[in-house]
Structure 1
Amino acid sequence: MIEVIRAETAGFCMGVDLALNKLDSLIEREEAAPIYILGPIIHNPQVLEDYSQKGVITAESPDEVPAKAHVIIRAHGVPKQVETSLRERGVHVIDATCPKVKKAQLLIKRNTEDGRILLLYGEDSHPEVKGLLSYAPSGTFLFDSLEELKEVKLDKNKKYCLAAQTTQDRMIYDEATQFLQDQGYDFTALQTICDATRQRQEEALAIADKVDHMIVVGGRISGNTRRLVQVVEGQGTKCTHVEVEEELPLDELRKCKRIGLTAGASTPKRLVDSIQKILEDL
């Protein structure tokens, strides 16, 4: 019989729960229709499809949201100027930005108002990153690895502020901090990586050490889900990233004695439950 070890941290995080609760509450108010979300409210295709069936409209651009309509600001947040322009046009804005992301935005704003240049560890295409960058008025550099940071031409005569996308790898962030210290740069390091992300990664690593194969469930566009796959593979454990149960490599998994199971922060419990049942029935 195959043993399945499921992570306690698998599934929705606090920020996702709060965002979806706000959207659910708005849907219950019939007079609020039509309801828009500015980009995917969370990075999970199955959840987004459920809300689409309920009549929620996903706008790819702020210009697609008409005046007087209700719009939910996604859990990842939006650039500061986007929210300002929506309010100026008379759009009813409900801010569902994750509190950890909002804290990171305000920390960056507070620590770059004195002219410090932001050094942000994050993914160029990620919506959270675009929002964080908008809170640094004195200039920004974005890097996705320690190697990229080392290639940035920094000036010893200028001051910097180091921060990270909330779902990034804390180990790499610590290495970036150490590099800047060793080079003698004048910088302030902010603690913006979410504790829930760190705990999820640490638990995944602990489980990966005990199993033959690790399954990570979550959306392909979910940054924190992809990061889970990276940290597990970095430890040398075989890992498969799936969005839905049909993607499970069942023939390969049948050869295992122990399988680990975890999920990204925007993965609904029902998906994790169904995949766990399939694994246990192998």
Structure 2
Amino acid sequence: MVKVIRAETAGFCMGVDLALNKLDSLIDKNENGKIYILGPIIHNPQVLEDYEKKGVITAHTPDDVPEGAYGVIRAHGIPKNAEEELRLRGVNVIDATCPKVKKAQLLIKKNTEDDRILLLYGEDSHPEVKGLLSYAPSGTHLFDSIEELEAIKLYPDKKYCLAAQTTQDRSVYEESIRFLEGKGIDFVTLNTICDATRQRQEEAISLSRKVDHMIVVGGRISGNTRRLVQVVETAGTKCTHVEVAAELPLDELKEIKTIGLTAGASTPKHLVDIIQQILEKL
């Protein structure tokens, strides 16, 4: 029989819970008005499909949300100008931005108002990153690796502000700090990586050392889920990323003695439960 060890941190984080609770509450009390979300509220296809069945509409631009409708800001946040546009057009804005992301936005705003240029460690295509960049009025540079940071031309007569997408790898961020310290430039460092993300990654690494194979459950568009896969593979343990149970490579897994199981911060508990039950029956 296969032994399955499940991570304690697998599944929804606080920010996702809060965002979905706000949306659920709005659905329950809303009688006539349409509900729009500017982009997916979280990065999980199964959750988004459930909300579509309840009549929630995913908008791609602020213009897609009509005046007087409810506009829910996704857990990842949205660009500052997009939120301002919604409010100016008379949309009933419900802010479901994760508190950790909102804190990062406001920290960046506060620390770049004195002409500091933002150096942001994050993924170019991620919606959280697009929002964070919009809070820096004095210019931005985005990097997703030490090599990309090293390629940025930094000037000794300018001031900089270093921040990170909340779900990024803390070890790379700390390496970025050391690199900038060696450049002798004027920069401030913001603590914007979420503790829940760090704990989830650390537990995944620790668990991977006790098992023969790791399963990570979560949406493929979820940045924090992909990061879990990355840190496990970097630690040297084979890892399989699945969204749903049907994707499990059962023929391969039934030959394995010990399997570790974890999940991204936007993965519903019931999906992880189903996968655990299947694995334990191998």
TM beyond 0.5: yes
Q: Tell me what 2:19 maps to.
A: 19
Q: For residues 152-191 of structure 1, what are the structure 2 equivalents within 5 Å?
A: 152-191=152-191
Unmatched 5+ stretches in structure 2: none
Alpha-carbon displacement from aligned partner over 1:74-111 (angstroms, at most 9, x marks no partner) = 00000011000100000000000000000000000000
TM-score by length of 1: 0.99
Q: Tell me what 1:192 maps to.
A: 192
Alpha-carbon displacement from aligned partner over 1:110-134 (angstroms, at most 9, x marks no partner) = 0000010000000000000000000
Asked whether the 8 Å contact 1:2–1:256 carries over to 2, the reply is yes
Segment drifting more, 23-32 vs 102-111: 23-32
Q: What is the deviation of 1:242?
A: 0.2
Which letter does structure 1 place at the counterpart of 2:45? P
Q: What is the deviation of 1:268?
A: 0.1
Q: Tell me what 1:146 maps to.
A: 146
Asked whether the 8 Å contact 1:27–1:33 carries over to 2, the reply is no
Q: Tell me what 2:79 maps to.
A: 79
Q: Verify: 1:133 aligned to 2:128, yes or no.
A: no
Asked whether the 8 Å contact 1:38–1:62 carries over to 2, the reply is yes
Distance 1:60 1:141 in 2: 25
Alpha-carbon displacement from aligned partner over 1:126-174 (angstroms, at most 9, x marks no partner) = 0000000000000000000000000001111100000000000000000
Asked whether the 8 Å contact 1:26–1:32 carries over to 2, the reply is no
SS of match in other structure, 1:141: strand
Q: For residues 38-49 of structure 1, what are the structure 2 equivalents within 5 Å?
A: 38-49=38-49
SS of match in other structure, 2:8: coil
Q: What is the deviation of 1:32?
A: 5.3
Aligned pair count reads 282
Q: Tell me what 2:69 maps to.
A: 69
Distance 2:221 2:77 in 1: 16
Q: What is the deviation of 1:49?
A: 0.2
Distance 2:161 2:183 in 1: 15
Q: What is the deviation of 1:185?
A: 1.4
Q: What is the deviation of 1:216?
A: 0.2
Q: CA RMSD in A?
A: 0.6
Q: What is the deviation of 1:33?
A: 2.6
Distance 1:116 1:173 in 2: 19
Distance 2:110 2:255 in 1: 54
Q: Tell me what 1:59 maps to.
A: 59
Asked whether the 8 Å contact 1:263–1:272 carries over to 2, the reply is yes
Unmatched 5+ stretches in structure 1: none
Q: Tell me what 2:117 maps to.
A: 117
Which letter does structure 1 place at the counterpart of 2:212? D
TM-score by length of 2: 0.99
Q: For residues 200-215 of structure 1, what are the structure 2 equivalents within 5 Å?
A: 200-215=200-215
Alpha-carbon displacement from aligned partner over 1:191-216 (angstroms, at most 9, x marks no partner) = 00000000000000000001010000
Distance 1:185 1:261 in 2: 43
Distance 2:33 2:231 in 1: 42
Asked whether the 8 Å contact 1:34–1:56 carries over to 2, the reply is yes
Distance 1:179 1:30 in 2: 51
Which letter does structure 1 place at the counterpart of 2:14? M
Runs of 4+ in structure 1 off by over 4 angstroms are none
